[in-house]
Structure formats: C-alpha cells, structure tokens
Amino acid sequence: MSGNSNEPSQLNGQLNSVKGQVYEAVGNATGSDDWKASGKQIHAEGEAEQKAAQGKAMAEGLVDQVGGYKDSVVGAVTGNKADQVAGNARQEAGSAKVDANKPQ
C-alpha cells in the first residue's frame, strides 16, 4: 500500500464500500432517506476507488512485464546471465501483478 493518501487504495475502497452498505442498511431499517443516500454515495465512491487502484496496479505490472522482457533480451544478447535472470524475474513479477489485478 502506498504512503500517499491521495492515491487510490484497494483496501480503503473496500472499507468504504462496506461502510456504505452498512449506512444504507441502517437507512433501510430506520426509514432514513439521508442514511440510505449517504450509504449509496459512500459505497459508490468505495467501488470507484477499488477500480482505480486495480487499474493503477495493472498498469505497473505491465510496465514491469515489458521492462523485464527487454532486460532479459539485452542480457541474452550481451551474454550477461545476471541481467537475463533479473529480467526474467521482473517479467514474471509483472505478469503476476497483471493477473492479480485483472477485472473480474
């Protein structure tokens, strides 16, 4: 998780999504339109933050995937096994990050 509170966070988005659902449930149980409306808004904001964080993580994974491939190829061409192995590892890490953040 990033230290910058302005960046989207999947965890924070999930928490707000659940918080919104709770507010909405309280509004439904009590008949309070204010609680229902507030809950819907908080829930929607949480969902949007989750999607933004997911997209950012996927983009970072793609950068690592492509950069790792490049490093691996350069290492193979120059005969530098350390660069080739490091590039392969970066590429695999990027692929894993992309896979973990694909929309469901």
From first to last of its 104 residues, what are the pLDDT tens digits of the chain? 444 567 889 899 999 999 999 999 999 999 999 999 999 999 999 999 999 999 999 999 999 999 999 999 999 999 999 999 999 999 999 999 999 998 87
Give domain status of residue 1, yes or no: no
Give the CB-side neighbour count of residue 62, counting CA atoms within 13 A: 8
Give domain status of residue 83, yes or no: yes
The number of folded domains in the chain is: 1
Give domain status of residue 4, yes or no: no
Give the CB-side neighbour count of residue 10, counting CA atoms within 13 A: 11
Domain that holds residue 65: 10-100
Give domain status of residue 5, yes or no: no
Give domain status of residue 2, yes or no: no
